[in-house]
């Protein structure tokens, strides 16, 4: 079974939790992991920035990617949030059953 993994970052644990809870509560994702205090180096307005951020790892089915993106943009506190999608495959049948039961 193929799934999509969406990564986004934010500078706020409150925002990360709000996004994660919304996606899980609405069965758009069965699991969102929040990795605290990731160090990000990036170019912004011509300067190299070094910021502490929270990384969200959002697992979902391909049919929910657009809805996840829409809600991330609605709830996010950045003007230009990172939203990157990669394809993954579930290799464990018992996890696949749990995953499917917890997505719409």
Nearest of 89, 30, 76 to residue 57 by alpha carbon: 30
CATH number, domain containing residue 41: 3.30.70.120
- Tell me if 104 is assigned to some domain: no
Nearest of 64, 2, 3 to residue 28 by alpha carbon: 64
- Tell me if 96 is assigned to some domain: no
Distance CA 77, CA 74 (A): 9
- Tell me if 97 is assigned to some domain: no
Distance CA 59, CA 37 (A): 20
pLDDT in tens, 49-103: 999 999 999 999 999 999 999 999 999 999 999 999 999 999 999 999 999 999 9
Report whether 101 contacts 93 (CB < 8 A). Answer: no
Structural domains in the chain (count): 1
pLDDT in tens, 8-63: 999 999 999 999 999 999 999 999 999 999 999 999 999 999 999 999 999 999 99
DSSP character at residue 91 = -
């Amino acid at each position: 079974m193929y799934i999509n993994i969406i990564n986004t970052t934010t500078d706020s644990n409150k925002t990360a939790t709000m996004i994660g809870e919304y996606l899980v509560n609405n069965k758009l994702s069965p699991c969102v992991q929040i990795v605290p205090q990731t160090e990000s180096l990036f170019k912004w307005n011509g300067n190299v920035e070094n910021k502490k951020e929270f990384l969200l790892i959002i697992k979902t089915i391909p049919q929910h990617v657009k809805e996840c993106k829409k809600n991330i943009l609605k709830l996010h506190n950045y003007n230009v949030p990172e939203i990157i999608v990669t394809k993954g495959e579930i290799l464990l049948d018992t996890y696949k059953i749990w995953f499917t039961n917890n997505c719409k």
